[in-house]
Structure formats: structure tokens, C-alpha cells
Structure 1
Amino acid sequence: MTDYDRPHHLILGGARSGKSAFAEREALATSGAAERFIYIATAEAHDDAMAARIAHHRAHRDARWQTVEAPLQLGATLVQHDAPDTVILVDCLSLWLSNALAADCWEAERAGLIEALSACRGRVLLVSNEVGSGVVPLGELSRVFVDEAGRLHQALAGLCARVSLVVAGLPLDLKSSAPS
């Protein structure tokens, strides 16, 4: 399978960059003959601030989206909901990465996602925080997170036809594999 056959789109950006809103607009605008829209949410509300963020995202989401909660087992969730007439938006990979590191199952989670994404027949949009532009963190866990996020983003960029970076609500296409 070539990049041309993979309609997947990796969308990176900083916190509050507008990446989620861009991903939702992009999914709905370029959905073609899609009949189902699945929103895989990876966040868990462990405090009031995160609960407010989740509520904000839910309130602004188009009613066409079916929400599926998947803080872990993202690959299995993709497989379960994949179909040629389906658009799946995963928000957010960096929260999922945090969940997997905390649960000490990162290697298996990463492998499961890569395998599932490679086999997906529907369109998948993946949203993640780009954290590689800052300084190297002092703490070990923070360094592991940044390193693993960078490795994950590189692997996914290779599997996706499009990669965008969103800054101040404005998307910048980093990769756009389109047949000429």
C-alpha cells in the first residue's frame, strides 16, 4: 500500500493551537461518501480542569459524531470501528501516550496502533501535541514522554498521506501525498 492509498491525516500542534477544531472541520469537509463519523476520545477527567476541557470539546462537536472513549487499547478501538464508509478522528495521541506510559503498556499500545492504522480501510485523522520544539525536560518521565511522542509522530507521518502543523488556528501542510 502506498501513501496515496492511505487517506490518513496526522495533525500536530501545541496546546490550544486549534488542532482539534481544524481536525473536525477537515474530517467533515473532505469526508466524501462517509456515512459514519467516529470520535475516539482518549482523555480521562482526573481533575476539574480536565473535566472542563472535555466538556468544552463535547459542547463544540458536531452532532454527526459518535463518541467512543478509549484511554487505552487505541489500536483495538480503531479496528472495532473501521469501515470503508467511516471517518475516525482520534483526539488526542499525546493524552493516550501519557495513559499508556502510566499503565506501563506503551510498547504494546504503540505496536497495536501502528498495526491497526496500517490496516484501516476508512479515513483516520490523528490529533497530537507537538512537544519537540522546546527544551529537553529535566525529569526522566518528561524526557521519556517527549522522546516517545517524537518517535510516534515520525512513525505515523510515514503512514499518513497528510501531515499538518496547526499554529494559532492556521494549518501548515508538512506533507501532502496526492497523485499527480
Structure 2
Amino acid sequence: MVDIRMRVNGVEEKVDLSPQVSLLDALRGELGLTGTKKGCDQGACGACTVLVDGERINSCLALAVQYDDRDITTVEGLAGEGEAHPLQKAFIRNDGLQCGYCTSGQLCSAVGMLAEHEAGAPSAVTEHLCATDVELSEDEIRERMSGNLCRCGAYNGIVASIKEVAAS
């Protein structure tokens, strides 16, 4: 067993884990944060997406021991004090969810993606890879969010939600 300390959603947490426990299983099983979903458990669906030090990762592919002394944000940590995150509000307004299973991963991924875009990171569809001011077009959003699957097909609402928040 290994003692791990993480700041999860702004709270210092200490967990005693076996070294092979995934970050996803630690969040869900040890800390009771069940907003992060276990979909494929192979890194293919994005339902388990969380933010580590502001960058999005698939928590099912990460060992919890790798994240000792790091800042983890799950969907439960996106909202401010008593108020939903702007993306959460936009998802509701734009019907960016149906069954809701992928929503926590979609939201965390969108927060990370917007930060990547703001920092000037290109995507596979960015026309000029050296450009620093890339328009966040529908194609850009779809490419940047391609690691998150929605079986219900709420993609149009997800894209609309991201565009709305990016424009504000």
C-alpha cells in the first residue's frame, strides 16, 4: 500500500492505495466522487476525463500513485460556490446532454480544451499550425473533443454549448 496525497476539487485528500489502482477507481471508490464515470476502462470513450493541474486526462489509464501532490478537478469541482460552471449552464440551455453518462467527461474535457485553445495549441484541423489566434470553429471543436464519445448523439448541443461559452 502507498500513501497518496492529492488536492481534489480544492480539498487535500490522503488515500492509502495499492500501486495498481487507477485514478478513476481511487476517485470513485476511495473518495466517493462518482460523477466521473467508468465507460470503456480503456481510454477510448472519455467518460472518465478529469483535469490534472488544468490538463485533461483519461483517469482510467492513469495510476493514482502518479498523481501524488497534484491538483485534480472532477465534474463535482467545476461548479463555483452554489453556482454551476458556465459550461454546465450552456449544456442545459443547448441540450448538450441526454442520458448524461458522458456529460461529466464532456464537461471536464471541454474546460481543458478551451484552456488549450486559449493557450494557442493547434488541433489536427488547424489550418496554420503556427497561428496563435485560431478561430474556434465547429470543425475545431469537434476535432478537439473527438476523444469524448456520446452514445445518445448530443454532439450538436455539446458543440453549441462550447461555442457559446467560448464566445463569452
Regarding TM over 0.5, the answer is no
Indicate the structure with greater strand content: 1
Q: Which structure has the higher relative contact order (CA within 8 Å, separation 6+)? A: 1
For the aligned pair, the TM-score class normalised by the smaller chain equals under 0.3
Per the normalisation by structure 1, the TM-score is 0.23
Per the normalisation by structure 2, the TM-score is 0.24
